[in-house]
Every structure is written in structure tokens, then in C-alpha cells.
Amino acid sequence: MTMRIGVVTFPGSLDDGDAARAARIAGAEAVRLWHGDPDLHGVDAVVLPGGFSYGDYLRCGAIARFAPVMESIIDAARGGLPVLGICNGFQVLCEAHLLPGALTRNQHLHFRNRDQWLKVESTGTAWTNGFTPGQEILIPVKNGEGCFVADTKTLDALEAEGRVIARYIKGNPNGSQRDIAGITNEAGNVVGIMPHPEHAVEALTGPSLDGLGFFTSVLRSLAKDGQLAGGQK
């Protein structure tokens, strides 16, 4: 049975098509979800893509967080649905309080667009289980408000609980505290990452194929959960 990954389109989304293509390359059926429609159409996982939802007015992700589709996603995520927020999607997840902290203006006040090295820290999530701890991967980063910040107590908790999923190495592109590039929730089903794995899934257009691991990881996680559920019936 083919797993179905939903990809949300908000007004101002930029990378929804790329995320859908990455899902298909990984072996899933990509299902397009519309910001104004709360129906998730029975998808097995959801990607909130990069871009500039609602023009980034007020704050990045602040309006998108209240879109009808997000109300359904928030409820489903709390029930265990795997959700990946990429760049602007990460900002939306923080605004929705599915992830802690916030993404603020890059410390150097410039938009940064480059291929970025990351070190995978946590492989216990639905979206990173296909990597190995300490694995170095190369995927593009492109953001103007990508600086992850949180209070010291929150940062210490993320570290202690193994919820930092990736860190910037060989240079921090935006000044994120403790070089954090991505984090997960306590359950491991919700992941936010500032760099763009969907842009590193094909040799023709990406700096590597390293980004594909996020999408194949969730398929493996879903298949495993399906087997467990099947064994319990």
C-alpha cells in the first residue's frame, strides 16, 4: 500500500511543489492540501513547506498558524500524525506551539542562500530514523528569518531530551543558538528544520541526495507502525 504524504499550500508558499516531488521520489503519493480546506483527505503524514505564507505579515508563520487546515493538522499531530515543517513550515510549527522556541531575523541581517553542512543529532524521530547519529549531510539553506532562539531552560531541555535533530556545522548561516538547525517534539512525530531537504533529492538539481532521507524515514516509520498495528489486530 502506497503511503500518502500531504503537502500544504498557503498563499505565498514557494516550495510546495518541490516537497511534493520529493515525496514522490521517496515512493509516496503526494497529496496537495489547501490552506482554506480543513480536510486532510486521509493522508499518513504532512509537510508544511518553505516560502512566505501570507507574505510573512505580522510574523513569519503567524497568520498561517490560524489557517483552517492548520486546525486539523494541530489536532492530528497531537494524535501522532507525522508532520515536517521546512523553513517557513518550521516557523508555522513554532507559532502553532507544536514546537518550542521561535525563528527570528538572521543575526547578520542578510538573507542567506547556500549549500549547508549539518550534523544529524537525533535519529529517533519519524523523519530522521534513516540517518545515523553524527552523520554529516549537505542540503541547501535559504532564509532571512532562520535564527532559532529560545530561553535557556528550553534550550537545556531540548539538549537533555535529545530533541535537537540537526546542527549547523562548518559555519552557522543565521546565528541560531547552539547551532540548532532542527528540533522535534517530545513524541518525535513533529519535526521542524530550517534548511531544505526537498532541494537535495536529485543529483541534477541538488548538492547531494541527503535530503531524501527525511522522506524515506517517514515512510519507514509509517510502515513499521502499520506492521505493529497489524500485529495487534
How does pLDDT run across 86-108, given as a tens digit for each residue?
A: 999 999 999 999 999 999 999 99
Active site residues: 87, 196, 198
How does pLDDT run across 169-199, given as a tens digit for each residue?
A: 999 999 999 999 999 999 999 999 999 999 9
pLDDT recorded at residue 87: 97
Do residues 18 and 200 make contact, with C-beta atoms less than 8 angstroms apart? no
* For residues 198-215, average pLDDT: 97
Do residues 76 and 44 make contact, with C-beta atoms less than 8 angstroms apart? no
* For residues 57-85, average pLDDT: 96
Phi, psi of 117 (to 5 degrees): -80, 135
pLDDT over threshold 50, residue 142: yes
Tell me the C-alpha distance between 180 and 32, whole Å: 29
DSSP reduced 3-state for 229: helix
Q: What is the pTM of this model?
A: 0.95
